[in-house]
Amino acid sequence: MTARGAGPVRAIGAEDVPTLWAGAQFYAPAFGEDGAEGLREWVTALLAEHGPVPLVRAEALPPDTRCAALGLVGSGTALAELPPVGDEFTTALSGIERRLGQRVEAVFPLAAAALNALTPLVAACLRGLPLIDSDGMGRVFPLVQYTSLHLAGLPVGPVCAAGPAGESLTVEAASADRVETMLRAQVHLMGGWAATASYPCAAAELRRAGLHGTVSRLLAAGRVLLAGGPVDRVVSQLSAVTGCRSVGRGRVVEVEQLTRPMEWAQPAHASTVLVAESGGAGRLLQLELQNDILLVLADGALTAAVPDVICLLDAVRGGVVGLDSLGGGEVVEVLVMPAAPVWYSPAGLALAGPRAFGLPVEHPRVAR
């Protein structure tokens, strides 16, 4: 529990790291609670060394402040296998500064969820920069161009990436898609993950195009999760804080791989998880996965779809279930939260809606 209670968050300190991590997991169920222990330890140690990082709102900054998005591109499993050395984020930041010829004055997360809720704190600490309470996605998306910034027309590049082996590169291309393709291929070769600095912009542009309040809401959700208690109570508190709703609770009966045609451009491949609802109507909940939970079908009826944030809670043990260790027999609760409204606009859906993931369905929110 942080001493800041429920008031506006103004700084993130070492003691907030567990809360931040719990909330970050909630918004991106890709990795279970075991992931990134080293990263967390490191961030905690840095914050303890350098003091808390100020968390500022985008409109509180002077409009022409140079900002950049920091994030880790790649897989958490690769991160666990190849731990960071310590200078990757600062290298990336320096790279982009060199390329632009300007110093960066504030950083914000590329996606305030999962690991990337923590990674910007590293550079913020080491460089003494403030962290902006905004981000580009509001959740995790697999590709770098899936941001509200891109929707608003901000260029994604130049992107500077630095890997754990000491390799770094800068990618510039005409379109965001090309930047993403080249970047991902390189990240794969660099060891599976890389620290990236991207979306260089001014604070005014960020104010216009970014999603705000996303870092502080991680802390709010994290507080609820850490408080613990019976799962039903946790769910109701979470829904009060985050606006999520429960679709159902049941036992995982089937995990099928390669259930949709594979696309090599997209990371990971499609899998399907079947949950047999216990109690209630006893429906069959079918979850379509690819890096993330993309669809929820209840008895075949489309209930939720990307860009809704869909998450699984372990109904017995109370934590977030990571998709990399989901096995048959687990009892899970399926929670759905709406994403930022910009994602439900036609452009947003075109970029990051179900069709962009190869699922030709209409989003239920729009259909209604």
Partner 1 sequence: MRVGARWGPDGCSAVLLSGSRVLAAARAPGRGRAALTRVLAEVCGAHAAAVRHVTFDVGPALLAAVREPADGPGHGSGEGAARTVPVVAVRIAPRPARHPALARHPSAPIAGLVARSVTLPGGHDLLGRELAALDEARVGELARELAATGARAVAVAGCGSLAAPAHERTVGERLLAAVPGLRISLSHEFGGQDLAGREASAVLNAALADVAEEVLDACEAAAGRVVPRAQHGVARGDGGRTPLARARTLPVVAVGAAEAAALLGAARLAGRERCRVLLPGPEGALLGEVRNGVPLVRPGRVPGWGVRLSVPMAILSAKGTALDGAGGGADSADAGAEAGDGDGDGGEPPLVVVAAGNGHPARPAPAAGPDAATGPVSDAGAATGPVSGLDPRAGHRVAWRDGRVSLSPPADLALIGTALCPPMAWVDEVVQVKDARELAAVRRDAEERTIAMVTAQGAAPGSARLVETTVVALPFSPAGTMRVHLRAVGDAEPWTADEAAAPDAARDAAPDGSGAGDERVAGRSGVGGQRAREAREAGEAGVARRAGEGRGARAAEGAHGGRRPRGSR
Partner 2 sequence: MRAHPTGPRARLTVAEMLTVGALRGAEEVFLADGGGPVEHLVLAGELPRLRELAPDTVVVLHGEAASGGWSLASALHMAWERHAAAVVTPRVALSRSAALLARRLGITVLAVDRDPVEVALALAAEVARPEAERARRVAACAELLARESTVRGVLSVLNAELAGVPVALLVDGGLVAGRAAALRPGRGRTDVRVDVPGPGGRRWAELVAAVPEPSDGYAEYVPTLLRLARAPLLAASARGRIETARRTAREQAAFRLLRESAEHGRSVDGEPPSAGAAPPDREPPVWTSELGWRVEGVNMAVWIADPAGAQGSPAPERTTMVRAAWAERLPDLPLVADQGGWLSWWNQPRGAPGGGPPKRLRALVGDVARAHGAAVGVGSPLPGAAGLLRSLREARLAAGAAAADGPGGVREFGDAGVAAALAALPVDRLVAVADLVFPALAGVRDREQIVRTVLAVLDHGGSLHQAATRLGVHRNTVLARLKRAQELGLAYDDPAGRSPCTCCATRWRPTGRATPGSRRRRRPPPGRARLGSRPASRAVWRRGGRPTAGVTAVPRARPARAGWGVSRRRRTGAAPPRG
- Subset of residues 209 to 268 that bind partner 2, contact rule: CB under 8 A: 253-254, 256, 259-261
Q: Are 40 and 118 in contact (CB under 8 A)?
A: yes
User: How far is the CA of 254 from the CAs of 140, 153, 244, 288, in angstroms?
Assistant: 25, 42, 25, 12
Nearer to partner 1, 92 or 206 (CB): 92
Asked if residue 297 binds partner 2 (CB under 8 A), the reply is yes
Nearer to partner 2, 110 or 352 (CB): 352
Asked if residue 153 binds partner 2 (CB under 8 A), the reply is no
Asked if residue 274 binds partner 2 (CB under 8 A), the reply is yes
13, 52, 54, 191: which one contacts partner 1 (CB under 8 A)? 191
The residues pairing with 67 across neighbouring beta strands, listed in sequence order, are: 106, 201
Asked if residue 278 binds partner 1 (CB under 8 A), the reply is yes
Buried b (16+ CB within 10 A) or exposed e, 22-32: bbbbbbbbbbb
Asked if residue 308 binds partner 2 (CB under 8 A), the reply is no
Nearer to partner 2, 91 or 303 (CB): 303
Asked if residue 365 binds partner 2 (CB under 8 A), the reply is no
Binding window for partner 2 (CB under 8 A); candidates: 36-44, 117-125, 244-252, 359-367:
359-367
Binding window for partner 1 (CB under 8 A); candidates: 5-13, 129-137, 321-329, 351-359:
321-329
Preceding amide of 230 cis, omega within 30: no
What span, in angstroms and rounded, lies between the C-alpha atoms of 71 and 147?
A: 13
Q: Are 207 and 194 in contact (CB under 8 A)?
A: no
What angle (nearest 5°) sits at the alpha carbon of residue 29, between those of residues 71 and 153?
40
Asked if residue 254 binds partner 1 (CB under 8 A), the reply is no
What span, in angstroms and rounded, lies between the C-alpha atoms of 274 and 246?
A: 16
Which pair of structure tokens corresponds to residue 307?
A: 């860009």
Nearer to partner 1, 171 or 206 (CB): 171
Asked if residue 348 binds partner 1 (CB under 8 A), the reply is no
What span, in angstroms and rounded, lies between the C-alpha atoms of 117 and 359?
A: 28
Grouping H, G, I as helix, E, B as strand and the rest as coil, residue 186 is helix
Residue 361 partner contact from partner 2, partner 1, none using kind-dependent CB cut-offs of 5 to 8 Å: partner 2
Residue 111 partner contact from partner 1, partner 2, none using kind-dependent CB cut-offs of 5 to 8 Å: none
What is the footprint of partner 2 within residues 276-295 (CB under 8 A)? 282-284, 286, 288, 295
Nearer to partner 1, 229 or 243 (CB): 229
12, 46, 55, 270: which one contacts partner 2 (CB under 8 A)? 270
Residue 272 partner contact from partner 2, partner 1, none using kind-dependent CB cut-offs of 5 to 8 Å: partner 2
Q: What is the DSSP letter of 268?
A: S
**Minimum CB distance to partner 2, residue 139 (Å):** 20
Query: What angle, 0 to 180 degrees and rounded to 10, lies between the N-to-C axes of helices 17-27 and 214-227?
Result: 100
Cα-trace Rg, the chain = 19
* Longest CA–CA separation in the chain, Å: 61
Question: What are the backbone dihedrals phi and psi of residue 322, each rounded to the nearest 5 degrees, phi first?
Answer: -80, 140
Asked if residue 359 binds partner 2 (CB under 8 A), the reply is yes
Nearer to partner 2, 164 or 354 (CB): 354
Residue 237 partner contact from partner 2, partner 1, none using kind-dependent CB cut-offs of 5 to 8 Å: none
Q: Are 277 and 250 in contact (CB under 8 A)?
A: yes
Which residues contact partner 2 (rule: CB under 8 A)? Answer: 253-254, 256, 259-261, 270, 272, 274, 282-284, 286, 288, 295, 297, 299-302, 359-362
